[in-house]
Amino acid sequence: MNHLPLVLASLLAIPAPVLGQNASSSCQVTPYRGATRPQGAVATVTMVNRGSPCLLPNYGLPSERANPATSGRITRPPRNSKASFSPPSASYLPDPGFVGDDEFEYEAWAVGASGQQLRHLVTVKVKVGAIE
């Protein structure tokens, strides 16, 4: 039995570097691995609350823009904000004036190298700062 797709899948959920899509929110997402493992992955987000969302993109195998997650959902919502999933990204938008720690979970579905569906499970730990 070839375990290579499973090994590669464990490297899968590495978000793209913080691109222009997050620049207006001063959002930084630390690269994370292991979203396809049963326990999932933990992503860390640090951002300034400027009323703009932070996006966490998800890709299949290979992990690139040409292979985006096709669906997803929030499985545990945050307490101090709104989170949603619009393929290929999970989005976190802090409530107006919120500063502090928050957390949410989501799952996403993307295509693997062999055409199989890969499930990403991600716990997102968020630190929200005030406008400087």
Task: Find where tokens 């640090």 sit.
Answer: 46
Q: Which tens digits make up the pLDDT trace of 89-116? A: 999 999 999 999 999 999 999 998 888 9
The number of C-alpha atoms within 13 Å of 95 and in the hemisphere containing its C-beta is 10
Nearest-angstrom CA–CA distance, 40 and 55 = 18
pLDDT at site 65: 83
Please state, in angstroms and rounded to a whole number, the distance separating the CA atoms of residues 25 and 98: 14
Note the Cα 60 to chain centre separation in Å: 13
How many helices (H) and strands (E) the chain has is answered by: 2, 8
Q: Classify the phi-psi angles of 12: left when phi > 0, otherwise alpha if psi is within -120 to 50, otherwise beta.
A: alpha
Residue 1 has pLDDT above 90, yes or no: no
Helix (H, G, I), strand (E, B) or coil at 61: coil
Give the model confidence (pLDDT) of 69-86 as tens digits.
999 999 999 999 999 999
Q: Taking the model in full, what pTM does it have?
A: 0.80
pLDDT-based confidence at 132, cuts 50/70/90?
confident
Domains of the chain, start order: 4-129 (2.60.40)
pLDDT, position 22: 53
